[in-house]
Amino acid sequence: MSAHQYDEGHTVAGWTGFAVATLGSVVLGFGVVMVSVAVLAGGLAVVAASVLVTWVLHLTGWGKPPGRRPREQWGMRARDLSAREGHPGCVGCRLAGRGRGRERGQGRVRESDTAAVTAVSPAPAVETAR
C-alpha cells in the first residue's frame, strides 16, 4: 500500500470494476469513431457488466463496506468477512437482500426484539392468490 494514512477503499472489487468499465469506455469510443450502433451497444453492455462484476465481488467479500475500516484491513487483498450478513447502510447489500435485520449498525435484531414489536403492532394480514 502507499504511504498515505487513510483508507482509500482500494479493493479487488473496486479495481476490477474500474478495469472492466475502462474497457467498456474504450469500446464505446471505438463505436463513436466507427459510427457503429452495434459497437456502441457492445460498449454499453461492457459498462453495465462492470457494475454487476463490482457488485458480485462486493457481496463475496472482496469489496469495502461503507465508512472507515481498521488499519489492518487496508490491504488490497484483505477480504471482508462481514459481507455475508450485509453492511449497515450499504445499498448494494440491501439490493441483495442482506442486512435487513440491522438497525443503524448495531448488529442483527434478536428474535425476542421482533416478537415484542409484533406483539405491540401486529402486521396486517396478507391474502394469497389462489
The letter for the amino acid at 104 is: R
DSSP string, 64-127: --SS---GGG-STT---TTTTT--TT-HHHHHTT-STTBSTTS-BPPHHHHHHHHHHSPPPP-P
User: What is the tens place of the pLDDT at every residue in 10-39?
Assistant: 889 989 999 999 999 999 999 999 999 999
**Rounded CA separation 107/65 (Å):** 14
Residue given cell 394469497 in the structure block: 128
Alpha carbon of residue 55 to chain centroid: 4
User: What is the tens place of the pLDDT at every residue in 44-74?
Assistant: 999 999 999 999 999 998 988 777 777 777 7
User: What is the tens place of the pLDDT at every residue in 101-129?
Assistant: 544 444 444 444 444 444 444 444 445 55
Strand partners, 102: 108
Report helix, strand or coil for 130.
coil
